[in-house]
Amino acid sequence: MEKKLARLKEILAEISDIEGAASLLGWDQQTYMPPGAAEQRGQQSGTLGKIAHQMGTSPEMGKLLEELGPYAESLDPDSDDARLIKFAIRDYERATRVPAEFIVERNRVLALANQAWTEARQTSNFEHFRPHLEKIMELTRRYVDFFPPADHPYDVLLDNFEPGMKTAEVKAIFDALRPQQVELIRAISERPQVDDSFLHQPFDEKKQWDFGVEVITRFGYDWNRGRQDKSAHPFTGGPGLFDVRITTRVDPNFLNTMLFGTMHECGHALYDQGADPALARTNLLGGASLAVHESQSRMWENLVGRSLPFWEHFYPRLQEYFPQLRELPLQRFYQGINKVQPSYIRVEADEATYNLHIMLRLEIEIALIEGRLPVRDLPAYWNAKMQEYLGIMPPDDARGVLQDIHWSWGLFGYFSTYALGNLISVQLWEKIKSDIPDLDDQIRAGKFEALLGWLRENIHRHGRKFMPQELVQRVTGSKIDPSPYMRYLRRKYSEIYGL
């Protein structure tokens, strides 16, 4: 069996190499690729996707897994080899349902759609993107049909990002969370609003960039294995463990965009850079799920980056970069960056309203998949739901239905992981603070080694070895639970708004 296992690892390593090259093409498309190359890039990505798919679904792969399945049962269930075989079987069973020709077609459509989305967002013109999204929806429904009937068709899509999670489970979590968040937002709205006007003024772009670099360097981002560039929508990507790239965007008149976007993507990158090197070029590289990945980005962005101890250390440094803040007291700055107010843009939403953006998108995606919502009606439906959920009406498509890049990438089933990641982040945070009682003091001193070390040991090094609910329960003692998150929000905003 050792020879068969070695052969399996050899095939997985080659697939990993191909997927890494495809990821690099995707990164380039979002950063430096000339717009006219979109169709060519779609062909290139399609070819690489087809090759990886054929290798992963080949008769040889099927025979190896059939023989190695029983062998895995004899191994330590938590060993790398046992988990590698287990996830290879899972991936094979899903991949063999999808024809290689479909992969090629989908990658071609997505490359053109992504370019169209970029142009549509710049001009705030949904109609420019609409025909591409209609093709994506057609492909998405075809994809769902490749699989056996599920409790809900959305389960098939959700499972790609949150393995083992069902639509009904997510809806139950959100149904429990929504009224509590709405109640908190209502209580905050009855208090005097904090002033964040100081965030909306000219801030030199180069200085913003340099301050962000300084912060994430202190967090532990390894520049020897990564880089940062600009993109229309911040993301983390790259070919593999030793090349993890992040992007950000800079608003010259609003500090939060770059500041917290950079911290957020750094959180993703720290997770990717922290995997056990033994997992490189295997199917175990990567996060346990998108929700677990989001727990890392949201932790560094919010639980660290929007905390008072963090700014007790970094605020004097920020004032050096931006003298216009020198007369602004720390407490006012802290309140301003944590202002609660319904807003149009998800990635710039405050912690109290953020999850409502996600719940809105989940409802829209389910309506699209079920066929209840035609793509042509999406902008009006979006605006109506924004009014229902957040009490505001987007003034244009760019700040409404076109604000997120995900649908142009075909990422249906993805959005709920953002809110689930928020919940996991605070579950982990409670455990971390129990294990590191002086964590606030360390952050106040600008020291993040113990925090990063805890995450490396308990989360990062495992890569994809554990299913998400399994990992959360191993570390915290319970599955995904909204209670710690609501405790955190109530405590934080009671102090800020005097509730």
Tens digit of each residue's pLDDT (9 = 90 or more) over 12-24: 999 999 999 999 9
pLDDT, mean of residues 207-224: 98
Q: Is residue 158 part of a domain?
A: no
For the residues of 113-175, what is the DSSP string, one character each?
Answer: HHHHHHHHHHHT-HHHHHHHHHHHHHHHHHHHHTS---SSTHHHHHHHHSTT--HHHHHHHHH
**Is pLDDT above 90 for 394?**
yes
Query: Are 208 and 99 members of one domain?
Result: no
**98, 390 in Cβ contact below 8 A?**
no
Q: Is residue 161 part of a domain?
A: no
Q: How confident is the model at residue 347, as a pLDDT?
A: 83
- Phi, psi angles (nearest 5°) of residue 298: -70, -30
Query: Are 109 and 181 members of one domain?
Result: no
Q: How confident is the model at residue 38, as a pLDDT?
A: 86
Q: How confident is the model at residue 111, as a pLDDT?
A: 87
In the chain, the N- to C-terminal Cα span, in Å, equals 63
Q: Is residue 154 part of a domain?
A: no
Query: Are 488 and 415 members of one domain?
Result: yes
Q: Is residue 162 part of a domain?
A: no
**Is pLDDT above 90 for 89?**
yes
**Is pLDDT above 90 for 232?**
no
Q: How confident is the model at residue 485, as a pLDDT?
A: 96
Task: Say how far apart CA 340 and CA 196 lie, in whole Å.
Answer: 10
Give the pLDDT confidence of 362-392 residue by residue, as tens digits.
999 999 999 999 999 999 999 999 998 899 9
Residues with active-site annotation: 265
Give the pLDDT confidence of 247-276 residue by residue, as tens digits.
999 999 999 999 999 999 999 999 999 999
* Total tally of structural domains belonging to the chain: 2
Q: How confident is the model at residue 159, as a pLDDT?
A: 94
Query: Are 185 and 135 members of one domain?
Result: no
Tokens of 406: 């995900």
Task: Say how far apart CA 353 and CA 178 lie, in whole Å.
Answer: 10
Query: Are 371 and 487 members of one domain?
Result: yes
Give the pLDDT confidence of 430-488 residue by residue, as tens digits.
999 999 999 999 999 999 999 999 999 999 999 999 999 999 999 999 999 999 999 99
Distance of CA 251 to the CA centre of its chain: 21
Q: Which of 149, 175, 192 is the last residue of a domain?
A: 149
Query: Are 283 and 409 members of one domain?
Result: yes
The mean of the pLDDT values for the chain is 95
Tokens of 33: 């690729």
Query: Are 319 and 220 members of one domain?
Result: yes
**Is pLDDT above 90 for 233?**
no
pLDDT interval class at 181 (50, 70, 90): very high
H or E segment to which residue 44 belongs: helix 38-56
Q: Is residue 453 part of a domain?
A: yes
Q: How confident is the model at residue 348, as a pLDDT?
A: 83
CA distances to 132, 411, 464 from 127, in Å:
10, 20, 39
| Residue matched to tokens 């070919």 | 239
| Residue matched to tokens 């399996």 | 8
Q: How confident is the model at residue 294, as a pLDDT?
A: 95
**Is pLDDT above 90 for 499?**
no
Q: Is residue 15 part of a domain?
A: yes
Give the pLDDT confidence of 37-75 residue by residue, as tens digits.
988 998 999 899 999 999 999 999 999 999 999 999 999
Task: Say how far apart CA 31 and CA 20 lie, in whole Å.
Answer: 17
Task: Say how far apart CA 24 and CA 217 lie, in whole Å.
Answer: 23
Task: Say how far apart CA 233 and CA 30 lie, in whole Å.
Answer: 8
Q: Is residue 159 part of a domain?
A: no
pLDDT, mean of residues 107-136: 94
Query: Are 305 and 430 members of one domain?
Result: yes
Q: Is residue 110 part of a domain?
A: yes
Tell which residue, 43, 383, 325, 345, has the closest CA to residue 200: 325
Query: Are 190 and 98 members of one domain?
Result: no
pLDDT interval class at 168 (50, 70, 90): very high
Give the pLDDT confidence of 310-369 residue by residue, as tens digits.
999 999 999 999 999 999 999 999 999 999 999 999 988 899 999 999 999 999 999 999
Query: Are 172 and 123 members of one domain?
Result: no
CATH number of the domain enclosing 183: 1.10.1370.30
Query: Are 299 and 380 members of one domain?
Result: yes
For the residues of 224-266, what is the DSSP string, one character each?
Answer: GG--EEE-SS--EEEEETTEEEEEE--BTTBHHHHHHHHHHHH
Q: Which of 99, 116, 149 is the last residue of a domain?
A: 149
pLDDT interval class at 94 (50, 70, 90): very high
Q: Which of 149, 178, 201 is the last residue of a domain?
A: 149
> What residue numbers bound the domain in which 56 lies?
2-149
Query: Are 64 and 203 members of one domain?
Result: no
Contacts of 37 (CB under 8 A, 6+ apart): none
